Structure 1
Amino acid sequence: MHHRIDALAYINRLRDYPPHQKLVFAFMLFSLGYIAPLHLQMVITLWLAVWIVVYAGIPWQLYAQLLTVPLFFGLTSSLALVFNMGHLPQAAATKDVLLGVGAGHFFLYVTLQGLYQALQAIVRSVTITSTMYFVLLTVPFAQLVTVMRKWGCPPLITELLFLTYRFIFILAEITTEMLTAQRARLGYINCKRGLYSLSLVVSQLLHRTIEEYKEISLGLISRGYNGKLTVWSERGYHPQKRYLFEALAGYTLLLVTTVMHYSR
């Protein structure tokens, strides 16, 4: 999965579009998606899906699979907003109660306001995550680091990001190899053995990661590492006026609609 995402960032249809423009576009939608009303957040999510799936050519199956991550965390975290508990009879007298169950002196209930707040939280998380997916799937990490350096980001931060990004792939690769080996030996044939196998993965993961870190450090030193990581950056970008016009026009329309919504 991780290697496929990294590969798509280099071969998508928007790869020749200037990375700084894609980053600005994603940041503007990120900010707007945080404050926009619910219906406009849904519009932003659908619009980003068009950019990612149609314009960039990312497989919709992969994008749908990625969206399950914010959906899952949104659903699990919104349970506290949906379900409320109070003492009888005050809780039962709440006006917007849709469903309730009494248990002794307590009353577990669901309100219309709670459902709306949960929906807001889920949609906002999906919208904001979609903007980050746009950057992840259309901007190669080397270009991202280059743009951040041009914008004056401290070298320490960019190098930490680069190393963190590298170690994410290392952890994913090590975990996949260990899980595959355990499945081949029927390590997850039942619940008890599955928990034991999972504990082995966790205990060995730190050791393997430290070994990989030592190998990377030796590799950098052998190649003359002087405290600065240099990445290759392509300069032959080909901006298209059509995409630029659509981005500006669409964002302006969303911004004006948001202002009109809150100025009522």
Structure 2
Amino acid sequence: MTGLDRLSYQSRWFHVAPERKFLLWLLLIILAFVLPPSGQAIELALIAALTCWLLRITFWRWCRWMALPFGFLLVGVLTILFSVSRDPQTLAAGVPIGGYWLGVTSSGLATANETFWRSLAALASTFWLVLNLPFPQLIVLLKRARVPRLLTEQILLTWRFIFILLDEALAIHRAQTLRFGYRSLPQGYRSLAMLVGLLFTRVLIRYQQMATVLDIKLYQGDFHL
């Protein structure tokens, strides 16, 4: 999370207006839904090249970032691709399992192919926007879109507490590792349970500290956005 946030500040398009980035993302999303699978594959390749160039990263690094959502996408595509039927004639290819047949239908294959490339293109487009839109620009975009102030403040606080949570979790994990808390599987589970319990307490303490600072600064219920 912190790495992605830092990359958004070193983008070649860092100073481009957030409205232009959003409009380009909207265009990419529309193309991802209206193009055929071959066009979606070309769009995916172009987005990957543009992302790597803008962020000055390697294609392999981009692929590693895409690997996590790709796993969820693959599971969804496989459920579309394979079908269970009692009649093997309805399947283009299949294997018998008890009294049923597990296989692939022609319509399922076409639907899975369309879903796969459409989802990848849309995912790469959204990933491009996240990597090239720093959080302050997102706040500006939300303000200009007339998003309710309360919702914008909730997004701001949630984003802030993500980093607090990660910082506390990494500090606790580092301390446990130095004390050989993960040298065996049973001990690792015990250390992980301690980490979760202690993390909740540490985050509450950080929240109380933030509330105290806001009171000192005469916080009146509104953040300066």
In the superposition, the TM-score normalised over structure 1's length comes to 0.74
Matches within 5 A, 1:149-160: 149-160=143-154
The answer as to whether partners of 1:74 and 1:121 remain within 8 angstroms in 2 is: no
SS in 1 for 2:14: coil
Letter in 2 for 1:202: V
Cα deviation, residue 155, structure 1: 0.8
The count of residues paired between Structure 1 and Structure 2 equals 225
The aligned residue for residue 219 of structure 2 is 225
The separation in 2 between residues aligned to 1:159 and 1:47, in whole angstroms, is: 35
Deviation at 1:59, TM superposition (A): 4.3
Residue type of the alignment partner of 1:205: L
Q: TM-score, normalised by structure 2?
A: 0.85
> What CA deviation, in whole Å up to 9, does each residue of 1:182-241 have, x standing for no partner?
33344444444433333333333333332222222222332333333224xxxxxxxxxx
CA distance in 1, matches of 2:179, 2:115: 42
CA gap of 1:50–1:95, structure 2 versus 1, over 3 A, is same
Gaps of at least 5 residues in structure 2 are none
- Structure 1 residue 56: deviation in Å? 4.0
Q: Which residue of 2 aligns with 1:140?
A: 134
Q: 2:173 aligns with which of 176, 179, 184?
A: 179
Cα distance between partner residues in 1 of 2:214 and 2:39: 47
Instruction: Return 5+ residue gaps in structure 1 as ranges.
Output: 232-264
Task: Evaluate the alpha carbon distance shift between residue 199 and residue 29 of structure 1 in structure 2; reply closer, same or farther with a 3 A threshold.
Answer: same
Query: 2:173 and 2:70 mapped to 1: Cα distance?
Result: 25
- Could you tell me how far 1:21 is from its partner in structure 2? 0.5
Query: By how many angstroms is 1:175 displaced?
Result: 2.7
Residue pair 1:70, 1:125 contacting (<8 A) in 2 also: no
| Equivalent position of 1:49 in the other structure | 48
2:90 to 75, 94, 97: 94
Higher relative contact order (CA 8 A, sep 6+): 1
Q: What is the rounded CA distance, in whole Å, between the counterparts of 1:70 and 1:106 in structure 2?
A: 32
Match of 1:108 in 2: 102
What is the rounded CA distance, in whole Å, between the counterparts of 1:73 and 1:223 in structure 2? 45
Give the conservation status (yes or no) of the 8 Å contact 1:71–1:122: no
Amino acid across the alignment from 2:11: N
Report deviation, 1:112.
4.4
CA contact (8 A) 1:78 1:118 kept: yes
Q: Is the 8 A contact 1:70 1:126 kept in 2?
A: no
In structure 2, how many angstroms separate the alpha carbons of the residues matched to 1:21 and 1:207? 42
Whether the 8 Å CA contact 1:41–1:127 is kept in 2: the answer is yes
Q: What is the CA distance between 1:156 and its match in structure 2?
A: 1.0
Q: CA RMSD in A?
A: 2.4
- Tell me if the contact between 1:26 and 1:132 (Cα under 8 Å) persists in the aligned partners: yes
Q: CA deviation at 1:8?
A: 1.6
2:199 maps to what in 1? 205
Fraction of identical pairs, as percent: 26
Deviations 1:46-68 (A, max 9, x none): 22222211134344343222111
